[in-house]
């Protein structure tokens, strides 16, 4: 080796050295890549593992009931027959209700906080809103059960029925507990999430975009409408998806106010019902191994699938929005 090296001309030696320099593997990068890859694999493993456990443990009911599990109304341990149609309906109804009210409210509040609120008040309000997000869900549940439900039973629902009773939404017996109460509680719970995410993304709108509109004589609202919202919409959508995820899976608060009855799904918001999460919370304590336990786990599996599908839909939506505004962030290509 040494012999060979000595035979090389100086220029050749320099060339080899140069090659070695540029080809040298940097251990830092290798290490870093390994570590981050490991973390990703752990997360991936958790997701796959969760799915696997859900599927394998709900095999008894999947085998026994097949698709009828989705369409059967009764969740009946006494006769050992199970179905989660009311719970699926309840989950979707209460989450949709919450989104319909929380998105406009939250966006409005965020716009106020970013553009109209007097400066000193801004931080105080933002802090209070974040605090709202930190309240444990059982507290929301208690409030819903002890304050909201009686009020709805005595005043809210009768009033709605009297004035809007022609809508199928407000027909039936006012009970206090039910979709309406759960929807309201969920709205309150996801509102702070939507406000803070929207506020954060609207705050980072480039000044150049705002000034482009200002310089055209735009009003404050027009600046928001044409500069801030187009810029922030992807982020806002992300916040809404987070909120939807929370609404779909929220357990404690909803269980306390939804009524927990496997009623026929109906258009009436007054109907006491179930959500997938509240079925699990309610029945888990009494579950006996066998079909009963398997049914509960399959309810979890369905919730898992619903959440997964909304997330995929959301990713797709966000990606298509981003494609529309590709590379738009700095205002230059």
* 151 vs 173: CA distance, rounded Å: 14
Question: Which range touches another protein (CB under 8 A), out of 105-113, 215-223, 240-248, 287-295?
Answer: 215-223
Query: b/e per residue, 285-323, with b = 16+ CB within 10 A?
Result: eebeeebbbbbbbbbbbbbbebbeebeeebeeebeeeee
Q: Which of residues 222-261 bind another protein (CB under 8 A)?
A: 222, 226-227, 230-231
Of 37, 164, 216, 305, the one binding another protein by CB under 8 A: 216
Please tell me whether residue 323 binds another protein under the rule CB under 8 A: no
327 lies in the binding site for another protein (CB under 8 A): yes
Is 203 a binding residue for another protein by CB under 8 A? The answer is: no
Asked whether position 123 contacts another protein by CB under 8 A, the answer is no
- Residues in contact with another protein, counted by CB under 8 A, come to a total of 28
Q: Kindly state whether residue 14 participates in binding another protein, applying the rule CB under 8 A.
A: no
**Tokens for 264?**
């026929």
Residue 193: Cβ-neighbour burial (10 angstroms; 0-12, 13-18, 19+)? buried
Instruction: Work out whether 214 is an interface residue with another protein (CB under 8 A).
Output: yes
Using alpha carbons, list the distances in angstroms from residue 257 to 154, 169, 170, 176, 186: 15, 18, 18, 8, 10
CB of 118 to another protein, least distance (A): 12
> Residue 72: what are its φ and ψ, rounded to 5°?
-75, 135
Determine which residue in the list 120, 285, 289, 333 makes contact with another protein, applying CB under 8 A: 333
Which helix (DSSP H) or strand (DSSP E) does residue 249 occupy?
A: helix 229-249
Choice between 14 and 324, CB closer to another protein: 324
- Give me the residues that bind another protein (CB under 8 A), please: 119, 206, 208-219, 222, 226-227, 230-231, 324-329, 331-333
């Amino acid at each position: 080796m040494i012999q060979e090296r000595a035979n090389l001309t100086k220029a050749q030696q320099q060339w080899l050295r140069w090659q070695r320099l540029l080809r040298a593997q940097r251990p830092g990068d290798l290490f870093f890549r390994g570590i981050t890859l490991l973390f990703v694999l752990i997360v991936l493993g958790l997701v796959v593992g969760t799915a696997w456990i859900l599927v394998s443990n709900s095999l008894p009911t999947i085998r026994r009931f097949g698709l009828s599990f989705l369409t059967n109304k009764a969740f009946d341990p006494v006769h050992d027959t199970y179905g989660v149609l009311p719970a699926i309906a309840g989950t979707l109804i209460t989450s949709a209700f919450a989104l319909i009210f929380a998105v406009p409210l939250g966006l409005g509040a965020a716009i106020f906080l970013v553009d109209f609120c007097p400066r000193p008040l801004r931080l105080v309000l933002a802090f209070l809103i974040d605090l709202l997000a930190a309240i444990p869900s059982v507290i929301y549940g208690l409030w819903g059960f002890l304050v909201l439900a009686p009020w709805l039973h005595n005043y809210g629902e009768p009033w709605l029925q009297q004035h809007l009773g022609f809508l199928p939404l407000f027909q039936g017996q006012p009970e206090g507990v039910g979709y309406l109460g759960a929807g309201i509680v969920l709205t309150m719970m996801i509102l702070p999430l939507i406000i803070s995410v929207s506020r954060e993304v609207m705050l980072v709108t480039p000044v150049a975009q705002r000034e482009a509109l200002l310089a055209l004589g735009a009003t404050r609202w027009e600046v928001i409408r044409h500069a801030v919202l187009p810029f922030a919409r992807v982020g806002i959508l992300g916040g809404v998806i987070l909120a939807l995820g929370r609404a779909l899976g929220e357990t404690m608060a909803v269980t306390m106010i939804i009524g927990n009855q496997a009623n026929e799904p109906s258009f009436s918001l007054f109907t006491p019902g179930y959500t997938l999460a509240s079925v699990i919370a309610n029945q888990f304590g009494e579950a006996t191994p066998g079909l009963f336990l398997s049914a509960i786990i399959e309810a979890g599996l369905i919730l898992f699938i619903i959440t997964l599908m909304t997330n995929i839909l959301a990713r797709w939506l966000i990606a298509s929005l981003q494609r529309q505004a590709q590379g738009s962030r700095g205002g230059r290509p």
